[in-house]
Structure 1
Amino acid sequence: MEQGRSGRERGRDETPEERADRLWVELLQELRVAQTGVQVLFGFLLTVAFQARFAGLSDTDRDIYTVTILLGAATTGALIGPVSIHRLLTGRRLKPETVQWASRLTLVGLFLLLCTMASSLLLILRLVVDDALALLLVAAMVVWFVICWVALPLWAHATNPPGK
């Protein structure tokens, strides 16, 4: 293990199982944040079809709404999926693999969340501004999410190599 400036070893001295346990707890904390947002968004989307103004939506807006609802459901499934994976594999001595699979499913869920957010924004902004501006605003927000969720972590990873 590499030593830091203080002369002490950096990093953790943990077994693969201990590391998997720690990573699992960290993943659950991350999922709690994402799941709460998805549940609020999806719950709101489910109520839209019951609003009086829904009947006046164009066919295009109804199609966007349908895609948005399906994306919201897929996002919910992906972000709750790690709990099911963990529950079904508990006791099988697959914790490191479980963490890896759950982590991958979480990344899929975050991608689906990005798509759900973009679709939701498009649906709402088409009702507020003209179509061209709606598309431009949605594209700008997608870029913002990609900066926050992908570019910044990748930049931090690239500029802070392990053991630094």
Structure 2
Amino acid sequence: MPEVREGDRERGESPPERDESPLERADRRWNELLQELRVAQTGVQILFGFLLAVVFQPRFAELGDVDRAIYVATVVLGAATVGALVGPVSFHRLVSGRRRKPETVAWASRLTVVGLVLLYCTMASAFLLILRVVLHNDLAFWLMLVMAGWFALWWFAIPLWARNRSESMTDDEPSR
């Protein structure tokens, strides 16, 4: 079993399986993070574009106060999501060349997690608004809760369970 490097466990990382320097590891983690951000940013841009276009639709004027409040909350959450998921790029650009790659990757990773939580909230809020407009009844809220649970399961619960399971399996192994 490879030796756990100092700080790996605190960041929730499994023991390294590669023989790489800290800078090589930072480069690899940065490239992996960029791939993840590309997936998330595409979805966020489409969702945010949809949200911005909604206000210009004729039916928007028919929304009641509660639905308008949900819309405003959704747009604010969407904007915050865009900020959080574009933030790592800005962070990297402003820190680049200052020999801070490991710290940059750590901060960008944290910001990405914040962005995913904000995206989760944006999705739930947008889903609630759409269902309220379509269904006009309390079923909209319950369907939103089911979908929010579904997203929470796959975006957070199962990955955290897998991470914790992996860590506990590593802890149970005898040291060599």
Instruction: Quote the residue 1:42 is aligned against.
Output: 48
Partner of 2:151: 145
Which aligned pairs between 1:25-64 and structure 2 lie closer than 5 A? Answer: 25-64=31-70
Provide Cα deviations, 1:31-63, integer angstroms capped at 9, x if missing partner: 000000000000011000100101111111111
Q: Secondary structure at the match of 2:138?
A: helix
Residue in 1 aligned with 2:72?
66
Q: CA deviation at 1:160?
A: 2.6
Whole-Å separation in 2 of the counterparts to 1:107 and 1:144: 18
| Distance in 1 between residues matched to 2:145 and 2:109, nearest whole Å | 27
What displacement does 1:87 show? 0.1
1:158 Cα deviation after fit: 2.6
Q: Which residue is equivalent to 2:111?
A: 105
**How far off is 1:11 after superposition?**
1.0
Letter in 2 for 1:146: A
Aligned structure 1 segments of 4 or more residues deviating by more than 4 angstroms:
none
C-alpha distance in structure 2 between counterparts of 1:75 and 1:146, whole Å: 16
Q: How far off is 1:145 after superposition? A: 0.7
Instruction: Extract unaligned runs of 5+ from structure 2.
Output: 4-15
2:56 aligns to what SS in structure 1? coil
Say which SS state the counterpart of residue 42 (structure 2) adopts.
Answer: helix
State the alpha-carbon separation in 2 of the partners of residues 106 and 131 from structure 1.
35
How far did residue 75 of structure 1 move?
0.2
Name the aligned partner's letter for residue 62 of structure 2: G
Name the CA distance, whole Å, in 2 between partners of 1:153 and 1:92: 33
Percent of residue pairs bearing the same amino acid type:
64
Name the residue aligned to 1:7. Answer: none
Residue 136 (1) aligns with residue 130 (2): no
Q: State the TM-score, normalizing by the size of structure 2.
A: 0.85
Q: Which one of 14, 24, 28 corresponds to residue 30 of structure 2?
A: 24
Q: How far apart are the structure 2 equivalents of 1:2 and 1:49?
A: 55
> Which stretch of structure 1 is more off in the superposition, 87-96 or 128-137?
128-137
Matched residue type, 1:2: P
1:160 partner SS: helix
SS in 1 for 2:2: coil
Distance 1:12 1:93 in 2: 22
